[in-house]
Structures are given as structure tokens and as C-alpha cells.
Amino acid sequence: VCSSDLAFGPPAQFTEDGYDYAIVMLEDRGIPYADAVRQAEGFYATQPVAQLPPAAPWLHGRPEYWSLFSVRRVYPWVASLLYPYRGFAAMIDVSRAAYVATAMLAVLLALRFAPLPWGVLLSIALSFFPPWRDIARCALTDPLAVALMTGTLLAGAALLTKRTTWGAVAFAALCIALSFTRPIPYVLLGAGIVAAAFAPRSGDRSRLAAAAWITGVAALCAAALEAALAQAHAPSFRWIVADTYQHFVQRGYAPAGETLQAFFVREELTIALHALVKGALAVVPALAIAGAVLRRRDPATPFLAGACAATWFGALVDPDRFDIVRCVIMPVAPVLCAFASAALADAVARVPAAMGLP
């Protein structure tokens, strides 16, 4: 289903953020920075994004967010392996492969809570979720990050059920790869803390040890990422908020002359309001909450629910209402589908009894 969607779905799209990753990809092929910039400029000049006034100025010379994106090494490195065969299309290939991998991993995650058909059904629904289809056609880190996040959460859930050395190593390797694809180890850190908080109630020491390992690895990844950002002289949180504010003023979404504090508070309230309204209208989040309650005794449920809660930290570090689906919802969307599959499976199983059938 995913492969056919790739063939007949939305066309590939190279965005201004991809310009950064194109340069890094070329550097990973051994091309000097200056030559990599010239080649990336030449390619992006032929793309539709170069005709967009807000993006065009950032497709020349040093990228706008170079120091911030320079630590996101995994995605361009993977693309660089395909570059000799696919050219700049290698960046799209990685995104599309991650799109397919996410669908498969979502089924495996849902299998923990419901029979296979329900996992397949929710995975297909996720694959045709319009924002996810749009993201998967772009030369961005997000599709690979979603696939890695799903794999990492799957490894963590397995580790909490049965602690093994290979499981611990797999979780650590995936967590490191995720952290240097997109800077979101805080999702796993929050998930680990919640899992550790609930583990003593089970009386299982191995579960507590697994939760401690998950939390420790995620904390070390977060510390390593912060050190890498500091070494790259990445912009401060205040700079990010100010930059977001300037973009909003230019697009007419914020009044000129507003203080950064007022803008930040107003934008966070707007994000919360949008989340409440859209969440009330969305079927899957409601089903996911019901499914998490039904499967509350599963060792992985607190861990996965903690990830869903921790992902909202992204709304604090990136106060942009237009990035909520891409940066906050999608990293844990497969978890929502897994919990929703449990709710659907239980609801359908209760139908015969409710109708008085044997």
C-alpha cells in the first residue's frame, strides 16, 4: 500500500531546510564545503522552492540554520550512501524508505496490544494521513526521525517486557541515531521517567532496571546533543523564539512591536487551543486514550504514554503552531495508532455479547 502511494501519491518536494542537508550530504561524499555549496545552489535553483520569495534568499551561500542543523548528521549520511546512484534524489529516497519502514514498525507496535488485522488497518490509516504523506515526500529529517522513533519505542517496550543485553544495545543504538537525526531525545527521556515511576508497582526488579537503562541512555543522548550544539555555536532558545516571531510578523500572523514574552505566551496558548479543538474532533486520539486505559497493565503502556506526553515539550522549544503536526504529533503517531487498535479490537470483541449472541 505504501509503495503504491509513493508511486502515485504526492510528487517529491525539496524545501529550504533540505538545502542544509544537501550540503552536508555532499560533504559526506568528500566534497569540500565551498564546492558542496555551489552544487547545492545549482540544484536548488532548478526547484520550485527557489521561486518562493520567503525561501529564495536562503538558498545561497551559508544556510540560515547551518549551526542548528549541522548536528543532524544521520539523515544526510544515509542519503550520501545513495548519492552516487541517485544524485540529490537520494534525500527523497531516504524519506520514502522511512515512510514505508514506519508503516511496518507501526504494525509491529500495534501487535503488542491487538490482533494483526487491527494493526494493519491503523497503519494504513496512518500512511494515508495527509500531513504525513506530505512530510514523506520532502527532503527533510522528519520521516527518518519518525521511523527511528517508532523503532526506538518498540525496542524500549520489548526491553521492559524482557530485559536482554541485545535489547539494551538495540535501544541505545537507535536512541543515538534518533538524537542526531532530530534533536528529540527528550521524548524518550520523558518516557523513561514515566516507566521508572510505574515500575516499582509491578514488584519486578528487571522492569525497574530496564526503565533505568532507558532513562539513563536518553539522558546521555540529550547531554551529548547539547554538547554538540554548543560546539557548533547553535543559536540560543531566545534567538529561536525571536526568529520565529520575525517570520510570523512577515507572514502577518503576529503584530509588529510585540514583546518576545508576550508572543511566546500567546503562541503557546494558541497551540494549546488548536490541540484541544483538533483533539476533540480527532477519532484516533480519543481511541488511543481508551486503548491505553484498557492496556494499562501492559509493562510498556506507561512508557509509551509517557512518550506521548513528553513530545509536547517540542511545543515549548519551538513555539510555532504550524510545526505541531510535523514536530509534535508525528513522532508518536504510531503509538496513538497502537493504542487505538487496542480500543477497536476490544470494542468489536464486545459486540456479540452486547447483542446477546453466543
Read off the pTM.
Answer: 0.93
pLDDT at res. 234: 87
Take residue 314 and report the three cell numbers written for it: 517540542
Q: What pLDDT score was predicted for residue 248?
A: 85
Task: Give the range among 37-41, 62-66, 78-82, 205-209 with minimum mean pLDDT.
Answer: 62-66
Q: What confidence category does residue 107 fall into, taking pLDDT thresholds of 50, 70 and 90? A: very high
pLDDT value of position 355: 61
Mean pLDDT of the chain: 89
**What pLDDT does residue 279 have?**
61
C-alpha cell at 146: 519518525
Residue-wise pLDDT for 137-150, tens only, equals 999 999 999 999 99
Mean pLDDT of 236-254: 84
- Percent of the chain exceeding pLDDT 90 equals 59
Tell me: pLDDT of 4 over 90: no
Query: Which region among 1-10, 110-119, 139-148 has the lowest average model confidence (pLDDT)?
Result: 1-10
- Residue 120 — pLDDT band, cuts 50, 70, 90? very high
pLDDT at 6: 62
The arithmetic mean of pLDDT across residues 103-117, rounded, is: 94
- Cβ contact 109:338 at 8 Å: yes
CB neighbour burial string for 9-33, b if at least 16 within 10 angstroms, e if fewer? beebbbbbbbbbbbbbbbbbeebee
Q: What is the pLDDT of residue 173?
A: 97
Question: Residues 21-29: what's their mean pLDDT?
Answer: 95
Q: Residue 194: what pLDDT?
A: 96
Alpha-carbon distance of 29 to 259, in angstroms, equals 44
Residue 55 has pLDDT above 90, yes or no: no
The 10s digit of each residue's pLDDT in 258-293 is: 888 888 888 888 888 877 766 655 778 888 999 999
Q: Count Cα neighbours of 63 within 13 Å in the Cβ-side half-sphere.
A: 23
